[in-house]
């Protein structure tokens, strides 16, 4: 299976369990790896037969900026579901980074990874 990957899609969202997270918001970073057969697109040199990653990046950013959720696990699931609406995609792996999570000790990043398929 081939893949198309988007790395570092950034958007501001208001996700989290704490009132301050909902009120102030913070930046989230999304990595998406889409699994599909790219041969039809390559054979015809046709964007319509693969994933338009520019359009997908905008969709993912809009989901992050949209309706708040408590858990980034929920956000990751919504992002994966959106990826699977693109016809050639049979599986999607999403990583949601929350680098400004409200943690009281020094840390580099918080990341939730989900992998979803059509089957």
Determine the angle formed by the axes of helices 53-65 and 72-84, rounding to 10 degrees: 150
**Residue 71 belongs to some domain of the structure:** yes
- The CB-side HSE value for 116 (13 A sphere, CA atoms) comes to 18
**Residue 97 belongs to some domain of the structure:** yes
DSSP string, 76-100: HHHHHHHHHTSTT--EEEEEEE-TT
**Residue 111 belongs to some domain of the structure:** no
User: Of 98, 100, 102, 115, which is the active-site residue?
Assistant: 98
Number of domains in the chain: 1
**Residue 114 belongs to some domain of the structure:** no
**Residue 116 belongs to some domain of the structure:** no
Domain CATH code at residue 53 = 3.30.1130.10
pTM: 0.96
pLDDT by position in tens, the chain (length 119)? 999 999 999 999 999 999 999 999 999 999 999 999 999 999 999 999 999 999 999 999 999 999 999 999 999 999 999 999 999 999 999 999 999 999 999 999 999 999 999 97
**Residue 90 belongs to some domain of the structure:** yes
- Residue 98 falls in the annotated catalytic set: yes
- Structural domain including 21 reads 2-101
Instruction: Tell me what pLDDT residue 24 has.
Output: 95
**Residue 91 belongs to some domain of the structure:** yes
The candidate with the shortest Cα–Cα distance to 110, out of 77, 9, 93, 100, is 100
**Residue 11 belongs to some domain of the structure:** yes
């Amino acid at each position: 299976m081939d893949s198309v990957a988007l790395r570092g899609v950034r958007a501001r969202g208001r996700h989290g369990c704490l009132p301050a997270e909902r009120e102030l918001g913070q930046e989230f970073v999304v990595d998406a790896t889409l699994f599909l057969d790219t041969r039809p697109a390559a054979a015809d040199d046709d964007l319509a037969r693969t994933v338009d990653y520019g359009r997908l990046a905008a969709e993912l950013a809009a989901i992050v900026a949209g309706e708040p959720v408590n858990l980034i696990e929920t956000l990751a699931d919504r992002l994966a579901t959106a990826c699977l609406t693109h016809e050639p995609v049979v599986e999607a792996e999403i990583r949601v980074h929350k680098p400004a999570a409200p943690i009281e000790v020094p840390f580099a990043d918080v990341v939730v990874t989900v992998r979803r398929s059509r089957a």
